[in-house]
Structure formats: C-alpha cells, structure tokens
C-alpha cells in the first residue's frame, strides 16, 4: 500500500498543471510520509517547464492546482508535514479563512493609525515599536484563540529583541501540531513614518513545516494568500511569479536591516548586483517584498538576516506562485532559516552565485 500510494502521489506532484489533490486520511498520510525513506526523491531530474502526464487511473478530489516545479518536487517529498497537511485539508481551509479575517481586522487598525508615534526602540535606534503593533497582534491572537484554541501562537511583539531570543522562542513551539507565526506590522519604520508600505504577515506551520500564508496590505486593500499544494491568490485571483529569465530583466528588492552586521552584506549585494539587473529597490517590508515576488511585481528579493515572522507567510506565497525560496547559502528554506533569497526561480541560481561572490550571504563577524 505504501509503495502504490507513494507512486500515485509522485505522479500527481510531477504534473505542475494538475488541478486535483489526492484525498488522504490521517493514517495514509502518516504512512506516506515515509516516502523519503523509500528514496523516491533520489535522482529525479524533471524539466521545470515540461508537464509530466499521469499514467493509469486514480480517484481524485477537485481541489486547488498543484504548482510544484522540479526544484520544489524533490524538497516537497522530503518535507515531513506535506502529506499530513493534506489529511487535514478541511481544517487547513478553516485555518486559512481565520487568517484572512484576522489579517483584515488588524489591517483596519493599521489603516486608521498610519503615522502612529514611536513608543520605544527595540534592538537599536532603527528598530521601532509603536502601540499599534501590540494592538494588531492582540486582535490577531484573539481571533486565533477563538476559533483554534489548541493552536500555538508566536507573535513578534511577544519576543524580546535579538537573534538568541527569537531563536529560542521559535524553538519552543516549532514542532507544535499547528503554529501561527505572526508579524502584526511588517514594516514598522515605514508605518511610523507615514509611509503606506507595511503589511500584516501570518504564516501557519504544521509540525514545523509551513502550510499556509496570508499577507495583507491594508493601504492597497490587497490580500495575498496560499496553501501548500494550492493556488496562490491576490484578492481571490490567481497570481504567478515574474517571467524574467535574464539578469538584465530582474527587478530586485533588497533588505535594509537595522543591524550593522547584516546591513553591510546587504549593501555589498546591492553594489554587486546593481550593474547587472534592471533595478534594485529597498522597500522596507519583507512581507510586501515577498508578496510582490509572488505576484510578479518583483523578480527577486534577498536579505541576510530575518526572523521567522518576517518570512513564514511569504515563503508559502512564493512557492505556491511558482517561485523558489532558499537561504543565501542555497539550502532549502525552513522556519529556522535566517537568510533569504526568494525569486521567480529562473534567475535564482545566477543571483545566488553573484551574492556569494560579493560576500553577501551571511552576517559580518561581531
């Protein structure tokens, strides 16, 4: 049963245009999670652009489209939670609905208070906090607690500043059955300055693996959402990554981190890539930059030091929209990954190589 089911799943995942999802019960999902031990992911060399036909017959349930490209396929087979998530598809839809509603509720608070006074700084004078950050997080957490009381919740405003504190906070909840990873206002400096370039970011993980993401930009009333194996949407309409294939076509975004140890490599990357790409933008919100990669406005975005709440939602969006998300060392992105390159996929390897050559892939020494 294991091998037969595994092969059927493999056939589904190799068709990037497949508009169906295999119905799995929890017991089947647990068994199929062993596919990585069967070794199905080894040696798969599939064309990124060539659909692979499904042979034979199988019973399928209508569901959002699978959009796995070849580099996503091998990693998806080795993700412990991808199949368990499918077994909980009904709950996942409820979770996504809650996330969308909570993001919109927090967005109303943001929209009404743009330009709020800074109440304190956190890690340094560039790392700002307003009273609205806490209000938005409270609204989101209340919505989650009301509908999903057993779910774990990790919000930026509940964690002390610094890498050690954020890593410890994530580690304490990372393996929860369901985990909400929330940045109530991503882009607080923009928000406090009256710049309408900030967003609510809500990522949802199952046993440490990201399964859903929602980013809401209240100033443009744009709701970006996606689930693993589902379709990425912008205000309910399908979205896809940029079609750029050459470096000269790349519209690149870069982070402007507050920590000098991360700012220096970010600037080295900008200097190295600026002559090779169409343009570089520093927008000041990881959530917005990742959402814009997912919908094709940007080709790629990189930053050398980020927390899970900055990237969790965006990683799901970019992958579901057909893009690629890795660490700056090229490793597969996961919740604990602190460096980031997300792109449309076609330009990813060349960007990684250029950033590596520029010594822009890790923090400078203390």
pLDDT tens sequence across 121-131: 555 554 556 88
Q: What is the pLDDT of residues 48-107, one digit of tens each?
A: 333 333 232 222 223 333 334 444 444 444 454 454 444 457 889 999 999 999 999 999
3-class SS of residue 128:
strand
Q: Which pLDDT band holds residue 118 (cuts at 50, 70, 90)?
A: low
Cβ pair 254, 282 in contact under 8 A: yes
Predicted local confidence at residue 61, as pLDDT: 29
The DSSP bridge partners found for residue 213 are 203, 226
Two tokens, residue 106: 């927090």
User: Closest Cα partner for 224 from 238, 210, 211?
Assistant: 238
Show Cβ contacts of residue 85 under 8 Å, excluding neighbours closer than 6 positions. 92, 206, 209, 211, 227, 228, 229
Q: What is the pLDDT of residues 12-28, one digit of tens each?
A: 443 323 322 332 233 23
Helix 70-77 and helix 2-13, axial crossing angle in degrees, nearest 10: 150
The DSSP bridge partners found for residue 201 are 183, 215
**Structural fold of domain 89-238:** Fructose-1,6-Bisphosphatase; Chain A, domain 1 (3.30.540)
For the annotated binding site for Mg(2+), the residues are: 156, 183, 185-186, 310
Q: What is the pLDDT of residues 279-303, one digit of tens each?
A: 999 999 999 999 999 999 999 999 9
b/e 260-271 (16+ beta carbons within 10 angstroms → b): eebbbbbbbbbe
The beta strands (E) that lie in the chain are given as 20-21, 61-62, 118-121, 128-130, 152-155, 179-186, 199-206, 209-217, 222-227, 233-234, 237-238, 251-254, 279-281, 300-303, 324-326, 340-343
What architecture does CATH give domain 247-357?
A: 3-Layer(aba) Sandwich (3.40)
Please state, in angstroms and rounded to a whole number, the distance separating the CA atoms of residues 75 and 228: 12
Cβ pair 258, 248 in contact under 8 A: no
DSSP track, 37-63: HHTTTTT----SSS--PPPS----EE-
CA angle in degrees (0–180, nearest 5) for 335-362-365: 125
For the annotated binding site, the residues are: 156, 183, 185-186, 310
Predicted local confidence at residue 125, as pLDDT: 55
The answer to whether the pTM exceeds 0.85 is: no
Mean pLDDT of 134-153: 97
Mean pLDDT of 336-349: 98
Please state, in angstroms and rounded to a whole number, the distance separating the CA atoms of residues 263 and 83: 38
3-class SS of residue 348:
helix
Please state, for a pLDDT cut of 90, what percent of the chain lies above it.
Answer: 66
Q: Which pLDDT band holds residue 366 (cuts at 50, 70, 90)?
A: confident
Domain ranges of the chain: 2-87, 89-238, 247-357
Q: 279-281 and 251-254 as β-strands: parallel, antiparallel, unpaired?
A: parallel
Predicted local confidence at residue 91, as pLDDT: 85
User: Closest Cα partner for 206 from 335, 358, 39?
Assistant: 335
């Amino acid at each position: 049963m294991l091998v037969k089911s595994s092969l059927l799943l493999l056939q589904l995942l190799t068709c990037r245009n497949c508009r169906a999802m295999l119905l799995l019960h929890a017991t089947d999902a647990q068994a199929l999670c062993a596919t990585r031990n069967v070794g199905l992911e080894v040696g798969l060399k599939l064309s990124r652009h060539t659909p692979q036909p499904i042979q034979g017959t199988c019973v399928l349930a209508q569901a959002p489209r699978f959009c796995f490209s070849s580099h996503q396929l091998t990693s998806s087979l080795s993700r412990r939670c991808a199949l368990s998530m499918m077994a909980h598809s009904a709950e996942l839809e409820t979770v996504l609905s809650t996330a969308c509603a909570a993001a919109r509720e927090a967005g109303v608070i943001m929209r009404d208070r743009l330009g709020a006074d800074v109440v304190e700084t956190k890690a340094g004078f560039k790392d700002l906090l307003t009273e609205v950050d806490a209000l938005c997080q409270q609204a989101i957490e209340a919505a989650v607690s009301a509908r999903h009381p057993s779910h774990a919740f990790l919000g930026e405003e509940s964690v002390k500043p610094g890498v050690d504190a954020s890593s410890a906070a994530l580690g304490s909840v990372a393996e929860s059955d369901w985990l909400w990873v929330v940045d109530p206002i991503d882009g607080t400096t923009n928000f406090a300055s009256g710049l309408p370039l900030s967003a609510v970011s809500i990522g949802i993980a199952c046993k440490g693996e990201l399964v859903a993401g929602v980013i809401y930009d209240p100033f443009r009333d744009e709701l970006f959402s996606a689930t693993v194996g589902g379709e990425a949407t912008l205000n309910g309409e399908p979205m896809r990554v940029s079609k750029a294939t050459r470096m000269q076509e790349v519209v690149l975004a870069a982070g402007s981190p507050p920590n000098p140890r991360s700012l220096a490599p970010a600037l080295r990357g900008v200097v190295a890539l600026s002559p090779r790409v169409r343009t570089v933008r520093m927008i000041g919100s990881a959530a917005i930059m990742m959402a814009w990669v997912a919908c094709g406005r940007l080709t790629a975005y990189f930053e050398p030091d980020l927390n899970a709440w900055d990237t969790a939602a965006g990683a799901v969006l970019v992958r579901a929209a057909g893009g690629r998300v890795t660490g700056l060392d090229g490793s597969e992105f996961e919740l604990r990954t602190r460096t980031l390159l997300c792109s449309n996929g076609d330009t990813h390897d060349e960007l990684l190589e250029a950033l590596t050559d520029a010594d822009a892939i890790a923090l400078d020494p203390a």
